[in-house]
Amino acid sequence: MTFRRTAASAVALLAVMATAPAWAEKLSIGIASEATAVDPHFHNLTPNNMISAHVYDALIGQDEKQRLIPGLATAWKPIDDTTWEFTLREGVTFHDGSAFTADDVVCTWERAPNVPNSPSSFGTYTKGKTVEKIDDFTIHVKTEKPYPLVPNDISTIYIVSDEGGCEGTTEQFNDLSVARGTGPFMITAYEPGSVISLKRNDDYWGDKPQWSEVDLKPIKSAPSRVAALLSGDVDMIDGVPTTDIETLKNRDDLTLSQGSSNRVIYLHMDQFREDSPHITAKDGGKIKNPLMDQRVRLAISKAINRDAIVERVMEGVAIPAGQLLPDGFFGVSDNLEIEKYDPKTARALLAEAGYGDGFSMTIHGPNDRYINDAKILEAIGQMLSRIGIQTAVETMPRSVFFKRASRGGEGDLPEFSLVLVGWGAGSGEASSPLKSLIHTYDKDRGFGASNRGRHSDAAIDKMIEDALATVDDAMRQDLLAKATEMAMENLAIIPLHYQVNTWAAKKGITYPARTDEHTRAANVVKE
Amino acid sequence: MTVFVIRRLIQAAIVVLLMSMIVFFGVNVVGDPVDMLVSPEADQAEIARVIRDFGLDRPIYEQYWYFMKGAASGDLGNSFIFGQPALKLILHHMPATLELAFTALLMAIILGIPLGLYAGLYPDRASSKAIMAGSIFGFSLPTFWVGLMLIMIFAVWLGWLPATGRGDTATFLGIEASLFTRDGLSHLILPALNLALLKISLVIRLTRAGAREAIQQDYIKFARAKGLSTGRVVGVHLMKNIMIPVVTVLGLEFGSLIAFSVVTETIFAWPGMGKLLIEAILQLDRPIVVAYLMIIVLLFVVINLVVDILYSLLDPRVRLGEQGA
């Protein structure tokens, strides 16, 4: 009996060994978006930054929840109101063997905002800051005014070498002649449209990746990406379409990983025009813009059944939202609740505001930008119609939508009355959406750049500006949370849900979902 | 004759110029590329900088003037999103598309002509009817659906062929293509078949119709009466005559295979010009769209010009008719 049991377990063990996949050290990932270059400073765009993170390091890294972690700097602290001191990591070498020192940081800082032909430069992050070398492994970053987000901004700038990299042109980065960073991988091939090949950097200063070679293959068409995974062309894919998640979940040769992103999907409402272009009385006559009335905005928020949208439209793959960022991010408020679905109160509020008979409105949104964007908007249209707001829905490609939504109307003003948009907090904390979406539109000072409803409240503005000048973390957290609470109370915007991103991989490969939607091969682990 | 050629050249130049206007202005009235380019985090100053740097703040006729000035010296502008010359990007992606189109054309000929001939010679057989029914499917099923089905069947279920991408390339006779490696060919088969399906159906129907018509004609009967073997009658006398329309149509179709393999390239993630074009359209990378369309316009104008000149050489009535008019 004992013998048989041993034999049986030996067989079982053999079976396990036989079925355990023979792992090639090579990993191939099908990615949904393609970088426009492999120059880390050419285009400040998520797909590009994601590739840069493989090959280059910044002084400060962002972990999977976008919390700041030591990168090429081991420590940083403010030494007075306008100066930050960074202690650099010693003993780090670039892929060509040259040593990393403060000189590389100084010259990178010069290069990053000044790349010719850049469609979106890193000047957004370098602006107003100067880098000064103190010794080989200490730098000071000086700002004009007290500014707490220095570490966040620093974490977006990937460091290139002062031997070649800083003088390199985008073309030289693309042909790989100067593409040498300090990151976990070296780039060995860049074929636009087909593959980016990486090789492990065996001298990497941090945790070395498990993969000796990685291929990143852009496959934009979602069904093709899923098919590539199923057929074994690639080992892992990102951007799994919500419609396929159920099917993939039920297969035992695949594992899925999911996590909430830093992207909130929300509604912006015209709050600055007495006569809003897409709102009329039910008979087509002119009326005063009802969206200026806070009660109407609250009625709209209460009319929206967020749970139903998440369940039906998003197939369960989203998280209902009550503010600008999901729990766990810096600057979110603990006191905010998700608005409850309550059409009865919504009707009462409309009546109280003098729109008991409802009104007629066309709402707009993109149809190729966010997960299921057009379907969400249609659902909202129906929900609003139910409380008496006769709603028509119009969606369009993002290439047309965003211009019209931002400055398509008369005098370069936003054209629409109510739009569905999304916002991903690149800095991983609440000042990013507050500054761009909630703060009064102020062209000269760079506030409210994406405030398409032109909500404006001096008290909130003050609080955001104070937060952006408060270096103390605890105080800033309070200010950001308070500003968020006031904005939500005003219904400056109506948050709907946070997007959830899904990755799928062969069994045995796991990926910790990142809130910034990056797919990073260095973090992919095999069990 | 010279007068005729010169007149044709002038006409071609006018067509190119008009098309450049239509394309340029047409592309420039749609949407705004700035919102596609800048990071959402960018402030108003950065947005203004991009608008200025890319010359989007200038009036459209001025932009057109700069475009024409560049075009005269062979510069069709820089891609907004890649920052590289549009022409260079398109030429870089061209070989992948050419080999795809070439393989699809080859499939259309190798499969289409024998099947069409068979269906034309033996129209009453069940197999012929099956071929014709199949060609109707080839015509009417949408390319993207067929592409996905091919991937499902051959890549996911059977696992015979890879689902996406282009395989390894090798250089042979100075041409770098994935036609010359095993891996390359295995990647090529599905997208080429997908692209070829419609053309195969077209060739089948053309060949069948031609064969059905020619077989009734007197010269075929004479050839048979002379005692020629069936093989020779079909292979020489019949084929020669029915090939004329097939070759003409295939020539034109080859142009459209090159220019508009957009759907197939997207589904199979094939790094060709079509994929470049569709992504440029989605992201409003205007210089690429304009340069691409200009190249295609030029291609078709040149083909037509050559055809016209050849016709006039072959058929004096064309020349005389033009002069008389």
pLDDT in tens, B12-70: 889 889 988 998 998 888 778 888 888 888 888 888 888 888 888 888 888 899 888 88
Q: Is A366 on the interface with B (CB under 8 A)?
A: no
Contact yes or no for A220 and B269 at CB 8 A:
yes
- Partner B contacted by A221 (CB < 8 A): yes
Q: Does A233 touch chain B (CB under 8 A)?
A: yes
Residue B77 lies in a domain: no
Which residue in this structure is represented by tokens 């108003």? B44
A443 CA to chain B: closest CA distance, Å? 6
Does residue B44 share a domain with residue B111? no
The answer on B105 and B39 residing in a single domain is: no
Shared domain for B44 and B97, answered yes or no, is no
| Residue A502 contacts B, CB cutoff 8 Å | no
Instruction: With CA atoms as reference, report the closest residue to A149 among A431, A424, A423, A514.
Output: A431
B92 and B192 part of one domain = yes
Which pLDDT value is given to residue B314? 66
Residues forming beta bridges with residue B109, ordered by sequence position: none
CB contact, 8 Å: A218 with chain B? yes
B112 and B63, same domain (yes or no): no
Write down which residue in B72, B102, B132 finishes a domain: B72
The reply to whether B38 and B167 lie within a common domain is no
Last residue of a domain, one of B32, B47, B72: B72
Phi/psi for A149 (5° steps) reads: -90, 15
Nearest neighbour of B162 by CB, restricted to A194, A233, A399:
A233
For A367, name the nearest residue in chain B, comparing CA atoms only: B282
Of B72, B96, B115, the domain-final residue: B72
How far is A389 from chain B, CA to nearest CA, in Å? 29
> Could you tell me if B66 and B111 lie in one domain?
no
Percent of chain A scoring above 90 in pLDDT:
79
Domain containing residue B199: CATH number: 1.10.3720.10
Q: Pairing state of beta strands B170-172 and A138-143?
A: unpaired
How far is it, in rounded angstroms, from Cα A404 to Cα A417?
Answer: 11
> Do B187 and B228 reside in the same domain of the chain?
yes
Interface mutation vs chain A, best among B75, B82, B89, most A CBs within 10 Å: B82
B-chain residue closest to A49, CA distance = B39
**How do residues A167-219 score in pLDDT, each as one tens digit?**
999 999 999 999 999 999 999 999 888 899 999 999 999 999 999 999 999 99
Put simply, the answer to whether A220 touches B83 (Cβ < 8 Å) is no
Residue B174: which region, alpha, beta or left (left: phi > 0; alpha: psi -120 to 50)? left
- Mutating which of B29, B30, B38 best tests the A interface, going by the most A Cβ atoms within 10 A? B38
Give residue B297's domain range.
88-324
Minimum CA–CA partner of A192 in chain B = B271
Number of domains within chain B: 2
Question: What is the rounded CA–CA span in Å between residue B282 and residue B278?
Answer: 6
Q: What percent of chain A has pLDDT over 70?
A: 95
Is there a domain that residue B149 lies in? Answer: yes
Q: Which of B35, B156, B283 sits opposite A403 (nearest CB)?
A: B35
List, for residues A33-67, the tens digit of each pLDDT value: 999 999 999 999 899 999 999 999 999 999 998 99
Q: pLDDT tens digit string along B140-169? A: 888 889 998 999 899 888 888 888 888 887
Percent of chain B scoring above 70 in pLDDT: 95
For tokens 């010296």, the residue is: B73
Q: Establish if A423 touches chain B: CB-CB under 8 angstroms.
A: yes
Q: Tokens standing for B76?
A: 């069709």
* Contact by Cβ (8 Å): B170, B184: yes
Q: Which of A269, A265, A264 is nearest to A419 (CA)?
A: A269
List the single best residue of A117, A396, A407, A439 to mutate versus B (max B Cβ within 10 A): A117
- C-beta atoms of B46 and A121 within 8 A: yes
B34 and B128, same domain (yes or no): no
What is the DSSP secondary-structure string of B270-305? --SHHHHHHHHHHTT-HHHHHHHHHHHHHHHHHHHH
B316 found inside a domain: yes
Flag if B34 and A397 touch (Cβ within 8 Å).
no
- Together in a domain, B162 and B188: yes
Residue B103 and residue B52 share a domain: no
pLDDT tens track for A253-304: 999 999 999 999 999 999 999 999 999 998 888 899 999 999 999 999 999 9
Are B300 and B238 in the same domain? yes
Residue B320's pLDDT band (cuts 50, 70, 90): low
Cβ separation A37–B36 shorter than 8 A: no
In a domain, B252, yes or no: yes
Q: Examine residue B196 and state whether it is found in any structural domain, yes or no.
A: yes
Interface check for A128 against chain B (CB to CB < 8 A): the answer is no
Whether chain B has a CB inside 8 Å of the CB on A368: the answer is yes
B109 min Cα distance to partner chain A (Å): 28
For residue B83, tell me if it sits in a domain.
no
Chain B residues close to A44, C-beta within 8 Å: 39, 41-42
Contact A194 B166 (CB under 8 A): yes
Q: Note whether A121 contacts B166, CB cutoff 8 Å.
A: no
User: If you average pLDDT over residues A117-135, what whole number do you get?
Assistant: 91
- If residue A265 lies in a helix (H) or strand (E), which one and from where to where? strand A254-269
